[in-house]
């Protein structure tokens, strides 16, 4: 349930965030260029916990926006000392930052009166100088189910990289690359599971295991972590390839998406010839 106010939204965060929030709010209140302020992200959705960031949206008067965006570092310095501050790509005057106490302050700045991006529509109003900052329709739109094209893309890319593995890793004896290859293959399995589970409830990017079912989590946890040596890399990749094929076949079939049989057969034949892996054992 969305929080009723800032105090409720901030309650799950470590105590230092309350003081940091107050400093941001006071700075916004004192700056005539800033017309409104919201909490966003997990705070606005009511799903924040101790690992969440302080996510803030500032609405700046249109005629002062460029000035504010050019001087955001000075504005931030008036709020808190930081050990890291980086401007967001393609978002002038927006940034992520880290304080000396390792508190995370992320700020998105937009022109007052502009139409917010869909990802920023869920927000909790905490400052409104003009009385018109409330945003209609803050609820997220109807969430879509699994994207068949996305499931296909993940599967095809996985199989493409399986075709690279014998030459790039095994033939060269590059077992450190092999470790990276296995980790990437396991990440693609995770991404496949997440897409197959859509729609998911809103959650921040740092929520990881929560996106999986208990069965999927057990599959991921059971996969071996390879060491940079031949037997370990080969065993881990073979186990991962088998888990991925089983999961991908089920996910694609459940969503009416055809299995890329010709691609898969070609990769299996190649792996059998180059690695001696029986085709039946690969999937």
Q: Which of 161, 205, 204 is nearest to 183 (CA)?
A: 161
Residue 259 sits at the vertex; the CA angle it makes with 256 and 261, to the nearest 5 degrees, is: 155
Phi-psi region of 219 (alpha: psi -120 to 50; beta: other; left: phi over 0): alpha
Q: How far apart are the first and last CA of the chain?
A: 42
Q: How far apart are CA 75 and CA 83, in angstroms?
A: 15
Q: Which residues of 77-98 are buried (b: 16+ CB within 10 A; e: fewer)?
A: eebbebeebeeeeeeebbbbbb
pLDDT for the residue numbered 145: 94
Per-10-residue mean pLDDT of the chain, 283 residues long, equals 90 96 98 97 92 96 97 98 96 97 97 84 94 61 82 97 97 98 98 96 84 97 97 98 97 97 96 87 49
């Amino acid at each position: 349930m969305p929080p009723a106010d800032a105090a409720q939204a901030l309650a799950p965060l470590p105590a230092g965030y309350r003081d940091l929030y107050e400093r941001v709010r006071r700075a916004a209140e004192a700056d005539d260029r800033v017309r409104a302020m919201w909490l966003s992200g997990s705070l606005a959705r009511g799903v924040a916990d101790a690992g969440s960031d302080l996510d803030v949206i500032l609405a700046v008067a249109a005629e002062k926006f460029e000035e504010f965006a050019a001087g955001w570092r000075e504005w931030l310095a008036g709020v808190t000392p930081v050990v890291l501050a980086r401007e967001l790509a393609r978002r002038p005057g927006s940034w992520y930052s880290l304080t000396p106490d390792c508190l995370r302050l992320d700020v998105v700045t937009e022109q007052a009166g502009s139409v917010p991006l869909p990802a920023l529509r869920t927000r909790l109003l905490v400052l409104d100088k003009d009385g018109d900052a409330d945003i209609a329709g803050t609820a997220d739109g109807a969430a879509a189910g699994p994207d068949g094209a996305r499931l296909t893309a993940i599967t095809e890319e996985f199989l493409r990289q399986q075709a690279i593995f014998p030459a790039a890793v095994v033939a060269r004896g590059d077992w450190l690359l092999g470790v990276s290859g296995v980790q990437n293959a396991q990440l693609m399995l995770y991404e496949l599971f997440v897409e197959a589970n859509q729609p998911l409830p809103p959650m921040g990017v740092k929520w990881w295991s929560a996106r999986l079912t208990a069965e999927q989590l057990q599959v991921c946890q059971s996969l071996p972590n390879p060491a940079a040596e031949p037997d370990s890399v080969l065993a881990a990749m073979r186990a991962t390839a088998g888990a991925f094929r089983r999961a991908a076949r089920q996910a694609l079939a459940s969503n009416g998406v055809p299995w890329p049989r010709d691609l898969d057969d070609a990769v299996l034949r190649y792996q059998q010839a180059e690695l001696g892996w029986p085709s039946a054992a690969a999937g």
